[in-house]
Amino acid sequence: MSDALVEARDGILIITINRPDAKNAMNKEASELIAAALDRLDAEDDLRVGIVTGAGGTFCSGMDLKGFLRGETPFVAGRGFGGITQKSPAKPLIAAVDGYALAGGLEVAIACDMIVANENAKFGIPEVKRGLAAAAGGLMRLPKKIAPHIAMELALTGDFMDAKRAYELGLVNRVTSGPALDAAIELAQAIAGNGPLAVKKSKQVIAESGEWSEAEMWQKQTETLGNLFATNDAREGAAAFAEKRKPNWTGT
């Protein structure tokens, strides 16, 4: 059985870490399969949104320590840990978290653009408890997602937080009593119904604008959006609104 499963469903690419017996601990094979799936997400025009989830009621418990002891590293060149932490796809990506998202598992989740979690989910970067550090993005990315002093506490104590607390801190978008994947698909469908070029460019501005100075931000936004307002989809969106119908997006 493959260590990661990939399914295209109505414009949504669902990527499932498939090592439930190991609590979906990330290994080299799963990382490579995830990286390939993200390449596919960006390459295929009919795919609009990606979802990363885990099989068997757990998202990801982090790096496969048994593999680590054998000398295996679950990193992909140019993509990072899990095939995702260093390079995000151009299209939106949602983490659907059931159970534990710990260590590298949390780093995979926060590398996504949005997180949907079951109410019983747990989040944490407990690497310090093993003499390690959350070096796959956790130490750098988490303080940008939540208050830095809260991120500091999580990094230095290794303590977990539940989905309710993660939602209160703004780390999680939605908390559900059912399977996280179902709620993530609902969110993905809402995104997939919008103009694909507009969605892609909007993600890019939000992702990159944190590094722009106030003096350059308007020029940078104009450059990033390019000719978006002159595209066929822009005209189609306006026409569909005026005619009270569903838009027929072409991605042009």
Whether residue 249 is contained in a domain is answered as no
Q: Examine residue 36 and state whether it is found in any structural domain, yes or no.
A: yes
| CATH classification at residue 89 | 3.90.226.10
- Counted domains in the chain: 2
Domain boundary residue, one of 168, 192, 216: 192
Catalytic residue among 29, 119, 127, 236: 127
What is the reported pLDDT for 248? 93
Output 206-213 pairs: Cβ under 8 A, ≥24 positions apart.
207/88, 207/113, 210/144
Q: Which residue segment(s) compose the domain that 207 sits in?
A: 196-242
- Contact between 63 and 26 under an 8 Å Cβ cutoff? The reply is yes
Residues 229 and 170 in one domain: no
Shared-domain flag, residues 52 and 101: yes
Determine how many CB atoms are found less than 10 A away from the CB of residue 141: 16
> Which of 192, 212, 232 is where one domain is finished?
192
Cβ burial, residue 252 (10 Å; 0-12/13-18/19+): exposed
Co-location of 202 and 181 in the same domain: no
On whether residue 177 sits in a domain, the answer given is: yes
Q: In which residue are the tokens 């690419």 written?
A: 13
Residue 106 lies in a domain: yes
14 and 30 in one domain? yes
CATH number for the domain that contains residue 211: 1.10.12
Which residues does residue 9 pair with via DSSP β-bridges, in sequence order? 12
Side-chain half-sphere exposure of 110, counting CA atoms within 13 A: 26
Residue 233 domain-assigned (yes or no): yes
The answer on 177 and 54 residing in a single domain is: yes
Residue 44 appears among annotated catalytic residues:
no
Q: What is the dihedral of CA 56, 61, 64, 65, to 10 degrees?
A: -140
> Do 103 and 68 share a structural domain?
yes
Check: CB of residue 179 under 8 Å from CB of residue 98. yes
* Catalytic residue chosen out of the listed positions 29, 107, 119, 236: 107
Same domain membership, residue 144 and residue 236: no
What are the DSSP calls for 193-206, one per residue? TS-HHHHHHHHHHH
| Angle made by CA atoms 93, 20, 124, in degrees to the nearest 5 | 60
Q: Kindly state the tokens that stand for 192.
A: 């997939």
208 is a domain residue = yes
Domain-embedded: residue 247: no
CA distances from 134 to 48, 53, 102, 248 (A): 30, 20, 10, 44
In DSSP terms, which residues pair with 60 in a beta bridge? 101
Residues 155 and 228 occupy one common structural domain: no
64 lies in some domain: yes
One domain for residues 71 and 91: yes
Domain identity same for 205 and 234: yes
Give yes or no: 107 in active site. yes
73 and 173 share one domain: yes
pLDDT in 10s for each residue of the chain, 252 residues: 899 999 999 999 999 999 999 999 999 999 999 999 999 999 999 999 999 999 999 999 999 988 888 888 899 999 999 999 999 999 999 999 999 999 999 999 999 999 999 999 999 999 999 899 999 999 999 999 999 999 999 999 999 999 999 999 999 999 999 999 999 999 999 999 999 999 999 999 999 999 999 999 999 999 999 999 999 999 999 999 999 999 999 999
